Amino acid sequence: MTRGIKHEVDRFIRDLQAQYFPYQFNQKEKGYVQLAVRPIQLWELVFPEPSLPQMQKTLWSNAEEMTPRPAFRPGLFTIRKTLGAEKIPEYPKDPNILPRLIWRPNTCAVYPIGIKKDENDKNDGHELL
């Protein structure tokens, strides 16, 4: 965890990313590998409720990918309960639901925490996005 003035924290991270370490790739090859600096970030995604299945297919390729590793489950459960969220529904099976096009590299893990419905507007019943 870091805490500090934004530009100082950014500089600290840039300096960490500039670090390379000797590494033996196999019996004959030696080289260097860059220090992997991996942030852990919490995001809130807000969208109309009927779009949930499409968002699930956008964020995860299948039900297995949507299921966090066992070691992460207690922590994610605790965060979900702290936020007052509910468990995310099962991955949609309908082949007609298509994901939105986003760039997502294999090195970017997306862990589901939960879902929290917005309160409806008292006047007309619309979601308060």
Entry pTM: 0.76
Helix (H, G, I), strand (E, B) or coil at 51: helix
Q: Report d(CA 71, CA 74) in Å as an integer.
A: 7
Distance between CA 67 and CA 90 in Å, rounded?
Answer: 10
**Cα 92 from chain centre:** 19
Burial of 87 (0-12, 13-18, 19+ CB in 10 A): exposed
Residue-wise pLDDT tens digits, 76-127? 999 999 999 999 999 999 999 999 999 888 878 899 999 998 777 667 767 6
Residue 51, pLDDT > 90, answer yes
pLDDT of residue 127: 67
Q: How confident is the model over 4-16, as a mean pLDDT?
A: 95
Q: φ, ψ for residue 48 (rounded to 5)?
A: -65, 140
